[in-house]
Chain A
């Protein structure tokens, strides 16, 4: 597939801002959606809008079947069949909150420890802090090496008798470096400790196989992987999910309810209280199908590698620019950098007026910003639909902006 063919599937890419063509480089925050996703959500609203898992009528059966087919699709997409189950959530954040709460209730006692890595998004830090303060447990921090990769060597020492769980990102949303998550799972499991992987970026850039990784939990959001906002996935191994209490109480998560006592349904229904996002969750199917297609399309891969090399070389060649996560190995096309003498916010503002959308600030990763010794960065994150000429335009505007500011 050519990049142009791919672009034609994403209507938002034709947007104009300030009379200029949009150059969308904020894909790590929210990716654009293809027609297949937009149209499915529309179709379901027109023809299959009824509450799932409840009524016997026709529309409800159709909606239920659609929702459960999506679950089966996701389960198979991440190769979860046989090892665990997929719980639909509103995003990675709610998935992590669910695990932090329910896992904490079942398995964490005062004095226990949770290992959280420094390159996590706040979403994979704060829920653990909340659980630890509720349970009287404490956080231990796993550091990164100079090249931005998690310090696997330090993990052995960090794990103690009291370690209950390890929470890490598959790919840091700031550094764009692919962590050795399989190796980390192996080390953790040799000490009897489960691992939760935040796959918000990982699901976008790799064909995730949870059975191969052997992780205990894997979570991701739909909106970063070409699906609608408000969709998300929690994969958990059955041995954990079955032994964790519900996170929220409500309709459809129960087996029977009475005032003398309520019993709960089994996973995944146990974790899906209340009316679910049945209009949007099925759109994970076309979104992930396209992701898989893009990840194996040779022409797109060649084009994206060219964009990667161009941006990496241009940023590295600029003496004012410091790139964080500056390894060419195991890196996805996500570039966070600072510019000596220019504030990231000023740069983002000027680039915005040139039609370029990118992220500036702390990127929901304050501990990592502290670790890197910066108050904020600029981040350009590319999707396969971004062209080399967009990359060139971005670099030329960046250079102009630097000249204005420095």
Chain B
């Protein structure tokens, strides 16, 4: 049901090509652009043969369409059921979608069927009215590309006000938190939404580009003991990385991470114990050694 040709890139591209043909705006270049956008690297020849070549009887050689109406595809039952499932998600309150039209639809799943067993328990409060209001203002600012004035609580529990250009909202599945990522004239800002006390759109001010984040790397050797290879590589799979096999049970892995996440990465590496041996950088090894040394002393005591 899910893996079905009605959702395929070829159908999507064909639909878009027919739409252009019906409008009379289809050109060879547009044809190629559409295939490139909706289908894949080697799709062009097949779709061209199917459409312009006449195999599919949908388009003439001169791009005259053989259908009469702009192609539409109603939502499938699966799509409606998936949409209905979202209504039980506590985060849906942030978005205000119009849920009419789904009354008679059975959800595909509900929140009680899913357990995020290792998610942190102090995630954002999606029932908090101020939080919801802040979220919606930020969303609007992002859509309309407007600047924001925000007042947030710092780690030292002080209120701080900044004017920033919002660039995107970042959601962490592990933390169950949203963070606003934006920029002012000097800095790249990442602010937890739960710390924002007040927020308003400002209709003036310069649009600040987002400075690049600082990316660090750590290289380690991985011993495949207790299935560590699969566990470690899957655990770090959301990060950019490179892996080489050194011998049957040993691998060299380099992972790239945000500079500000170093402590988190260090803790995550520690969680795999002696199956991982960090090779570089030296500063990272020094931090690891401090912790291991402290533990050795505590264990002795």
Q: Do A and B bind each other?
A: no
